[in-house]
Amino acid sequence: MNYEELLAFAGRNPMLSAAFVGLTVAIIVTEIRRMTRGYRGLKPAELTQLINAGGTVVVDLSSSSDFEKGHIAGSRNVQPSQFGPEHKLVANAKQSPVVLVCRSGTASETAAKALKKAGFENVSVLEGGIPSWQQAELPLVKGRN
């Protein structure tokens, strides 16, 4: 397909062309935001490697009842309203890897932004939260730690 054919197609299908341009712009904006957010998104396998390497602080921001139903081994549960850069779990971990986990990703992303703003150097979020961990068929621990 050459440029002239592409222009002819766009002229014959203005709604389809507008949708294509809109989706392309949305994807570009989303990727730029992701690259400039200041924290990393981790896949379950990457989080497993970090945990196995040791020294990683994993904070689960799920509700207490959800945490008790299943959480990543070694993670600590904190309610999002009580969590911040000064929380005892992370206050002395500005250079250590800190990984935030929740059920949907919303609470962990908000907390990650706060930690980065407070000067934490190595902040990550489990992409997709606990459901992505389960989808990767990785184990969860039940009960409280």
Q: What is the pLDDT of residues 73-108, one digit of tens each?
A: 999 999 999 998 888 888 888 888 999 999 987 899
Average pLDDT taken over every residue of the chain: 90
Judged against a pLDDT cut of 80, whether residue 34 lies above it is answered with no
CA dihedral 96, 121, 81, 131 (to 10 degrees): -70
Structure token pair of residue 92: 């002395």
Residue 77 Rama label (left phi>0; alpha psi -120 to 50; beta) = beta
Check if the beta carbon of residue 97 is closer than 8 Å to that of residue 124.
yes
* Interacting residues of 136 by C-beta distance below 8 A, sequence separation 6+: 43, 44, 45
Judged against a pLDDT cut of 70, whether residue 36 lies above it is answered with no
Q: Does the reported pTM lie above 0.85?
A: no
Check if the beta carbon of residue 98 is closer than 8 Å to that of residue 115.
yes
Amino acid at the residue 89: L
Of the two residues 31 and 79, the one the predictor is more confident about is 79
Q: What is the pLDDT of residues 53-79, one digit of tens each?
A: 988 999 999 999 999 999 999 999 999
User: Quick one: pLDDT at residue 2?
Assistant: 87
User: Quick one: pLDDT at residue 32?
Assistant: 80
Measured between alpha carbons, how far is 14 from 143 in angstroms, rounded to an integer? 56
Name the CATH superfamily for 39-135. Answer: Rhodanese-like domain (3.40.250.10)
User: Quick one: pLDDT at residue 93?
Assistant: 80
Structure token pair of residue 96: 């250590």
Structure token pair of residue 81: 């309203």
Judged against a pLDDT cut of 70, whether residue 145 lies above it is answered with no
Judged against a pLDDT cut of 80, whether residue 45 lies above it is answered with yes
Write down the domain spans for the chain.
3-35, 39-135
Ordered DSSP codes for 48-104? HHHHHHS--EEEE-S-HHHHHH-B-TT-EE--GGG-STTSTTTTT-SSS-EEEE-SS
Q: What is the pLDDT of residues 3-15, one digit of tens each?
A: 888 888 888 999 9
Of the two residues 36 and 124, the one the predictor is more confident about is 124
